[in-house]
Structure 1
Amino acid sequence: MSLPPLREVIAEHGLAARKGLGQHFLLDLNLTAKIARLTEAGPGDVVLEVGPGPGGLTRALLDTGADVVAIERDRRIPPILAQMAEAYEGRLSWAEADALAADETALLPRTPAVIASNLPYNISTELLVKWLTVRPRWWSRCVLMFQREVGERILAEPGSKTYGRLSVLAQAASVPRLGFYLPARAFTPPPKVDSAVLVFDDKPLPPYLPALERVTQAAFSQRRKMVRSSLKPVFGPRLEEALEAADVIETARAEAIPVAAYEKLSAWLTASEM
C-alpha cells in the first residue's frame, strides 16, 4: 500500500496546524530521513514519537524497520496513523494521550526504546526534563527537535549567557550533542525561530540527581547572586564545607560553575542527608 504525499494528507484531513498544540509540520522527507538516521534504529528496535502530526517523521522512522509507538493529543491524527499502520504492516501503534502525563513504559512493547520527536515547542523543555529524570531509565537515545535557542541552552558551556539549569541537568544526566540546525522555512507553517535537532545518549543515571535538581534550582533562580547566598537555603550552615569539597569559591556565580562541580555539590548533599 502506497501512502499519499504529506500535503495531500493535510488537505484531506483538514489538518491546519494548531498553535495551542505547538504544531509546526516538517514535510521535507529528506530532512525527516536525516532525523531518523540519527536514531540509528533498525529492525527489532522500538521508537517512541511524540506528536506525529501528518506523519512525515513517522514514515521515516518506520522506513528504518523499527516498530514505532506514537503519542498524540490531536484527535484529527488517528485516522492518518491508521492508514500508516496498514501500509507498514502493523509496525505502528499509538495512544491518544498527554505526553507529559503518559506512562511510556505501559505503551512500549519492550525496552530500552529510542525517543524521536519534532517536539511541540510549548512543552519541549518539560518533556526533556521528564525523560532525563525518569527512573528506571527506559530509553537509550533521544533525537529531539527544539527551538534553536533552547538547543543552545542545553549544550551551553559555563561562562556563557545561555548556560543555565537546563544545561547542567542535560549534561549530567545524558551525553547531548548537536545533530543539525533547521531553518524556520523548513516547516509548515514556519515558526518565528529556527530549530535544532539534538541527540541525547544514555549514561548511568547519577544517584544524586534529585539533589542536583534542588541545587541548580537554587543557584540559577538567583543567578546574579554569589553562591554563598543563593545556595545557603539548600546547604545551611555546612555550605562552606560543601563548596570546599567541590572546589567552588563562595564568590562564584551560578553561570561560572562547571557541570562537574554541580555534580560534586549534589553528591556531597546526598551523602550528608543519608
Structure 2
Amino acid sequence: MSRIDDLPPLREVIARFDLGARKALGQNFLLDLNLTGRIARSAGDLSGVTVIEIGPGPGGLTRALLNSDAAAVVAVERDNRCIVALADLVAAAEGRLRLIEGDALEVDPEAIAPAPRAIVANLPYNVATPLLIGWLKRIEQFRSLTLMFQREVADRLSAKPGSKAYGRLSVISQWRAEVRPLFNLPARAFTPPPKIESTVVQFIPRQAPEPAEFAAMEAVTAAAFGQRRKMLRASLKSLGNSEALIEECGLIPTQRAEEVPVAGFAALARAWRASRA
C-alpha cells in the first residue's frame, strides 16, 4: 500500500479545510474513489507521461493519477484553500506531484510539463469549453486529453452532421482529434450534485487533420453556425463572396451548416483564407 492510500478520506479533508464547493469557480467535487480510479484508468497507459490535472479540488482524481504509472502529476488549482488542503498529498507523493496555483486559462501546458504529456481532468464547468479550444489549437503537444464535461457539452463534441447537437464545437474538436465519449457519471456522484449528468470524453490527436488554419476554421464555423437555420449562401455572406466560396468547395448553396461535414468546413476555411491573401 502506498502512502497515498494512508491519507484521510476526502470528506474528512473537505471538513478539515472547509472546502465547500464554490459555484463561482465551477466546483463540483468527485469523491467516489472507484470513479476517480476509473477515470485515471480510462486515460490509458500513462507510463513515462507527465499528467496535467486542472482543478484538483480535495484531490480525489489526483490520488488516482498518482496511483497510476504516470511519471508525475502537475495540478493547476485556482482556489488557495485547495492548495493548502493538498499539502499532505504532495508529501505522500514523494516528488511526483507539483501544485501550481493559478488560472488554468493563463497557464501554458508546455511550460509546466515535459513531453510526453497528457491532460486528465474533471474540468470546472464554467471554463471547460475555452480550455478545450485552447488545447485543441496545440493538440499535437499532447498524448491525449481525457476530460469530464456536462453531458450536453459532451453530446455536442461527438455529434455527427445532420444532428441538432452538431455545431462549431463538434467541427473544431473532430477536425483536430478523434473524439471518444467513454462513460457517463450521474449527478449524485458529485458534491454538490450538478443539474445534469457528466460524461468523460477522450481526445486523441489526429495524425493528419484536414489542412486549414485554426483562425480560419473558427471564422467560417462562427459565420455558418451563427445563423444555423439559414442556408449557407446567406449565413456565409459575412465572409465575402459566399456563392463563390461555396462553389469552389463543392458544397450546395441551399445546405445548412449542420449538414456540412468537417472536411467541408476545412475546404471553406482554405478557400476563405486564400481569398484574403
Is the structural similarity TM-score above 0.5?
Answer: yes
Counterpart check, 1:128 vs 2:128: no
Q: What runs of 5+ residues in structure 2 fail to find an aligned partner?
A: none
Q: How far has the Cα of 1:247 moved from its partner? A: 2.4
Q: How far has the Cα of 1:101 moved from its partner? A: 1.4
Which 10-residue stretch deviates more, 225-234 or 240-249? 240-249
Question: Where does residue 121 of structure 2 map in the other structure?
Answer: 117
TM-aligned CA distance change 1:43 to 1:86, over 3 Å: farther
Q: Deviations over 1:103-159 (max 9, x none)?
A: 222211x1231101100011111111111113x842120000000000001111111
Instruction: Tell me the distance in 2 between the aligned counterparts of 1:79 and 1:8.
Output: 14
Counterpart check, 1:240 vs 2:243: yes
TM-score in terms of structure 1 length:
0.94
Match of residue 13, structure 1, among 13, 17, 30: 17
The answer (yes or no) to whether the contact 2:179–2:202 under 8 Å persists in 1 is: yes
Q: What runs of 5+ residues in structure 1 fail to find an aligned partner?
A: none
Identity of aligned residues (%): 53
Q: How far has the Cα of 1:40 moved from its partner? A: 1.6
Question: Where does residue 189 of structure 1 map in the other structure?
Answer: 192
Which residue identity lines up with residue 77 of structure 2 in the other structure? Answer: E
Q: How far has the Cα of 1:13 moved from its partner? A: 0.8
Counterpart check, 1:251 vs 2:254: yes
The answer (yes or no) to whether the contact 1:48–1:116 under 8 Å persists in 2 is: yes
Q: How many residue pairs end up in the alignment? A: 270
Q: How far has the Cα of 1:229 moved from its partner? A: 1.2
The answer (yes or no) to whether the contact 1:6–1:55 under 8 Å persists in 2 is: yes
Which residue identity lines up with residue 94 of structure 2 in the other structure? Answer: E
Matches within 5 A, 1:100-249: 100-108=105-113, 110-134=114-138, 137-204=140-207, 206-234=211-239, 236-237=240-241, 239-249=242-252
Which residue identity lines up with residue 107 of structure 1 in the other structure? Answer: I
Question: Where does residue 44 of structure 2 map in the other structure?
Answer: 40
What RMSD, in angstroms, separates the aligned Cα atoms of the two structures? 1.5
Which residue identity lines up with residue 269 of structure 1 in the other structure? Answer: W
Which residue identity lines up with residue 71 of structure 1 in the other structure? Answer: V
Counterpart check, 1:27 vs 2:31: yes
Instruction: Tell me the distance in 1 between the aligned counterparts of 2:41 and 2:212.
Output: 32
The answer (yes or no) to whether the contact 1:41–1:114 under 8 Å persists in 2 is: no
TM-score in terms of structure 2 length:
0.93
Matches within 5 A, 1:35-114: 35-66=39-70, 67-108=72-113, 110-114=114-118
The answer (yes or no) to whether the contact 1:41–1:47 under 8 Å persists in 2 is: no
Instruction: Tell me the distance in 2 between the aligned counterparts of 1:41 and 1:269.
Output: 40
Instruction: Tell me the distance in 2 between the aligned counterparts of 1:200 and 1:240.
Output: 34
Partner SS for 1:69 = strand
